[in-house]
Amino acid sequence: MKVQRGELTLDGLIIRPRISRLVRGGDARGVAARCCRALLARRGVEAVGSRRSRGVPVGGVTAVSDFRQPMSEVDGRVDAMTTTVAALPGFAERYRVIQSRDRRFDGQFVTAVRSTGIYCRPSCPARTPKEQNVTFYATSAAAHEAGYRACKRCLPEAAPGSPLWDVRGDVVARAMRLIADGVVDREGVPGLAQRLGYSSRHLTRLLQAELGAGPLALARAHRAHTARALLVGTDLSSADVAFSAGFSSVRQFTDTIGEVFGMPPRELRARRPHSSGVEAAGEIDLALPVRGPIDTLGLFGWMRAHAVPGVEVGGDASFARVVRLPGGPAWFEVRLADDGRLRLRARLSALADLGTLISRVRRLFDLDADPLAIDEALAGHPQLAPAVAAIPGVRVPGAIDADEMLLRAMIGQQISVASARTMQGRLTAALGEQVGVGPEAMTLFPTPAAIAERGLEVLRGPAARMRAIVEAAEALADGSLTLGFGDDGADQRERLLARRGIGPWTADYVRMRVLGDPDVLLPGDVAARAGAAALGLPSDPAGFTAWSERLSPWRSYAMAHYWYAAPVTQAWRSPAETAAAVAARRPGARTRRAADVAASAVERTPSLTRPATGSETHE
């Protein structure tokens, strides 16, 4: 059993004694503590965790946790910095969160209790621990590394992911997005570091300094999370669960589950509900943790309106498609179950792709967003308050594949959504690969290489635009243009704008969808400006941009409200649920334009189209 406890900041040096030996369960913490104190006694100081050193300077040195910067609460969110000393700024805010058992902070940090050796989610119903026994960590991986195990009562691994990795654009956030996508499992730490432009050693140092765990530990925590979901949600054998979660062996899987959850896989599975998550042979059915509220009507409506024929199928409460993953093609369906939860049903060519698929589905449906913080910030502006009240928990759809997202956005320039779907469907039928991995045969969206080779034979439209699409496909195919979930936002935008046929709308739209950037505004989008007009806001590009500045850092979510207030969305949103209808009912706010939008909603516009902008339009 690996035991590791204690850390001290001494003259700017982090001392983290680590021992590896067999100890009896109840003695592990004591052995580690005694070894730590014996080592540090030579320097005349005391180890973290001793009763005399908790937050008390000893010999001119103060003992602190892995995270040496204070935490702050911003727009209802908690930042990723962690502190354990009660006298430092930030500790009191987190402690108030666990006292109130506020569910909106689940997944944003974990609470480790030194007296029990357990870490919990903020909303854990157990008795609130004493302040002097509490350590806060930004990730469960950091708690694992410090020797804590997950609480069996609140199951912190079942919480939604942190929204911080989309809000932030620094190297740590980019690394977390790539780790969730399975890059470490497929390419190792060197592959992750290369994608981010750092050496493996420096990247590990950055993650360790801020999150308390290196990339291997973070990937291990992600595998444990996937394994837990499979154990409690499916009837897969332990071996299948192990390899589906990304473990290299059953023994590694068993040891990790025992260390993280404090029980063997068999016992963890025994705690699940009686109903099975497997509906057919080779099919996996899992619940997707979500922070509520969530606008499922808007999400499924958006997916249905943009579904590519042959690739995607959208319904009122479901969305299914086939996707190309590292291990081969996969099929999945996200549906709204009778109990109100979102569920994922999937069939994969390689079980090892499951963690990657779950991560990408969560990004596609924006399931790690913090809707209460977003709604609170947007509703603070009286002009948008009715929109937020009408559609609480609005989400911004993401992307399942970065290359596909760029090509679809370019195909959709200067034409309506319906025309874009028709062209994308024609392209898929001619160049896509038909697969039978799902319940029925479907077609994978064409690869960049296929579009580069034969795209001009299939695509129809202005010659310059068709050439630009094919050139972009060629660049994606030969690697001269790379797109991914771990890109730096500003760098990605600059690289896209440097290419022919890609303007600000396309570059920013891809950044919004692929990176999940929450602060993107598209002033060139006519549909969004029409929605702004329906809400009584400035609709000219300059006025629209200037007014929306006050909504930072949530302008992407404001864009969703603008789109939903536009007349073109009324075909699949009930008038009673649209922001325009609410705005039209407000006394004194019934402008001519808002009234026209509400009237168009009642008439149920028969076709979903989006007017073209000067050079680009919505995919």
pLDDT, tens digit, 9 for 90 and up, residues 160-200 = 777 777 777 788 889 988 998 889 988 999 999 999 989 99
Please identify, among 164, 197, 218, the residue that sits at the C-terminal boundary of a domain: 164
What residues contact 601, with CB distance under 8 A and at least 6 apart?
Answer: 567, 570, 573, 575, 578, 580, 581
Measured CA to CA, the distance from residue 160 to residue 227 in angstroms comes to 15
Domain CATH code at residue 211 = 1.10.10.60
Q: What confidence score (pLDDT) does residue 567 get? A: 85
Q: Is residue 290 included in any domain, yes or no?
A: yes
Residue 26 is given by DSSP the state G
| pLDDT above 50 (res 529) | yes
Please identify, among 164, 189, 217, the residue that sits at the C-terminal boundary of a domain: 164
Q: What confidence score (pLDDT) does residue 278 get? A: 42
| pLDDT level of residue 572 (50, 70, 90 thresholds) | low
* Bond into 553 cis (ω within 30): yes
Give the mean model confidence (pLDDT) for residues 526-532. Answer: 93
Q: What confidence score (pLDDT) does residue 234 get? A: 80
Element (H, E) at 444: strand 442-444
Q: Which residue has the tokens 């006050």?
A: 550
Q: What confidence score (pLDDT) does residue 345 get? A: 94
Q: What confidence score (pLDDT) does residue 574 get? A: 55
Ranked by mean pLDDT, which of 262-266, 371-375, 474-478 comes out on top? 474-478
Q: Is residue 384 included in any domain, yes or no?
A: no
Residues 345 and 330 in one domain: yes
Q: Which of these is catalytic: 35, 36, 120, 151? A: 120
Measured CA to CA, the distance from residue 591 to residue 597 in angstroms comes to 10
Element (H, E) at 139: none
pLDDT: which is higher, 2 or 404: 404
Domain CATH code at residue 145 = 3.40.10.10
Q: What are the tens digits of pLDDT across the range 203-224? A: 999 998 888 889 999 999 888 8
Least confident of 18-22, 294-298, 514-518, 568-572: 18-22
pLDDT: which is higher, 44 or 291: 291
Measured CA to CA, the distance from residue 103 to residue 118 in angstroms comes to 19
Element (H, E) at 331: strand 328-336
Q: Is residue 412 included in any domain, yes or no?
A: yes
| pLDDT level of residue 56 (50, 70, 90 thresholds) | very low
Range of the domain at 81: 73-164
| pLDDT level of residue 600 (50, 70, 90 thresholds) | very low
- Angle, CA of 261, 262 and 263, to the nearest 5°: 95
Residues 86 and 104 in one domain: yes
* Bond into 541 cis (ω within 30): no
Could you tell me the pTM of the whole model?
0.73
Measured CA to CA, the distance from residue 100 to residue 567 in angstroms comes to 42
- Report CA torsion sign: 464, 469, 474, 480: positive
| pLDDT above 90 (res 435) | yes
Q: Is residue 36 included in any domain, yes or no?
A: no
Q: Is residue 64 included in any domain, yes or no?
A: no
pLDDT: which is higher, 608 or 371: 371
Which of 164, 249, 260 lies closest to 217, judged by CA? 260
Q: What confidence score (pLDDT) does residue 45 get? A: 37
What residues contact 411, with CB distance under 8 A and at least 6 apart?
Answer: 420, 423, 424, 427, 459, 469, 619
| Mean pLDDT taken over the chain | 79
Angle between helices 250-261 and 215-233 (to 10 degrees): 90
Residue % of the chain over a pLDDT of 70: 75
Residues 335 and 348 in one domain: yes
Contact 438, 331 (CB under 8 A): yes
Give the mean model confidence (pLDDT) for residues 61-78. Answer: 33
Contact 358, 332 (CB under 8 A): no
| pLDDT above 60 (res 381) | yes
Ranked by mean pLDDT, which of 78-82, 312-316, 581-585, 604-608 comes out on top? 312-316
Residues 257 and 297 in one domain: no
Residues 343 and 475 in one domain: yes
Q: What confidence score (pLDDT) does residue 577 get? A: 53
Q: In the structure encoding, which two tokens stand for residue 198, read together?
A: 């750092």
Ranked by mean pLDDT, which of 85-99, 229-243, 392-406 comes out on top? 392-406
Q: What confidence score (pLDDT) does residue 291 get? A: 87
| pLDDT above 90 (res 314) | yes
The number of distinct structural domains making up the chain is: 4
Q: Is residue 614 included in any domain, yes or no?
A: no
Q: What confidence score (pLDDT) does residue 273 get? A: 62
pLDDT: which is higher, 466 or 18: 466
Residues 224 and 295 in one domain: no
Residues 288 and 347 in one domain: yes
Q: What confidence score (pLDDT) does residue 274 get? A: 54
Burial 589-613 (b: 16+ CB within 10 A, else e): eeeebbeebbebbeeeeeebbbebb
Q: What are the tens digits of pLDDT across the range 338-375? A: 989 999 999 999 888 999 999 999 999 999 999 999 99
Residues 332 and 218 in one domain: no
pLDDT: which is higher, 98 or 477: 477
pLDDT: which is higher, 22 or 145: 145
Q: What confidence score (pLDDT) does residue 245 get? A: 87
Catalytic residue flag (residue 120): yes
Contact 77, 370 (CB under 8 A): yes
Measured in whole angstroms, how far is the alpha carbon of residue 143 from the centre of its chain?
21
Q: Is residue 53 included in any domain, yes or no?
A: no
Q: Is residue 383 included in any domain, yes or no?
A: no
Least confident of 409-418, 493-502, 537-546: 409-418
Give the mean model confidence (pLDDT) for residues 101-108. Answer: 78
Residues 176 and 144 in one domain: no
Q: 3-class secondary structure for 168-216?
A: CCCHHHHHHHHHHCCHHHHHHHHHHHHHHCCCHHHHHHHHHHHHCCCHH
Measured CA to CA, the distance from residue 609 to residue 566 in angstroms comes to 11
Q: How far is CA 54 from CA 69, 87, 154, in A?
A: 17, 10, 27
| pLDDT above 60 (res 27) | no
Please identify, among 270, 299, 321, the residue that sits at the C-terminal boundary of a domain: 270
Catalytic residue flag (residue 525): yes
Q: In the structure encoding, which two tokens stand for residue 302, read together?
A: 């958006």
| pLDDT above 90 (res 33) | no
Q: Which residue has the tokens 């025992």?
A: 258
Q: What confidence score (pLDDT) does residue 352 get? A: 87
Residue % of the chain over a pLDDT of 90: 46
Give the mean model confidence (pLDDT) for residues 269-295. Answer: 74
Least confident of 101-105, 358-362, 426-430: 101-105
Residues 340 and 427 in one domain: yes
Question: Which long-range CB contacts under 8 A does 506-510 form with residues at least 24 apart?
Answer: 506/406, 506/409, 506/410, 506/413, 506/616, 509/409, 509/618, 509/619, 510/399, 510/402, 510/405, 510/406, 510/409, 510/483
| pLDDT above 60 (res 463) | yes
Measured CA to CA, the distance from residue 526 to residue 614 in angstroms comes to 9
Q: What confidence score (pLDDT) does residue 202 get? A: 92
Residues 342 and 408 in one domain: yes
Give the mean model confidence (pLDDT) for residues 123-142. Answer: 88
Contact 79, 71 (CB under 8 A): yes
Q: How far is CA 474 from CA 9, 55, 110, 423, 469, in A?
A: 52, 58, 45, 19, 9
Q: What confidence score (pLDDT) does residue 233 get? A: 77
Q: 3-class secondary structure for 365-392?
A: CCCCCCHHHHHHHHHCCCCCHHHHHHCC
| pLDDT level of residue 413 (50, 70, 90 thresholds) | confident
Residues 492 and 569 in one domain: no
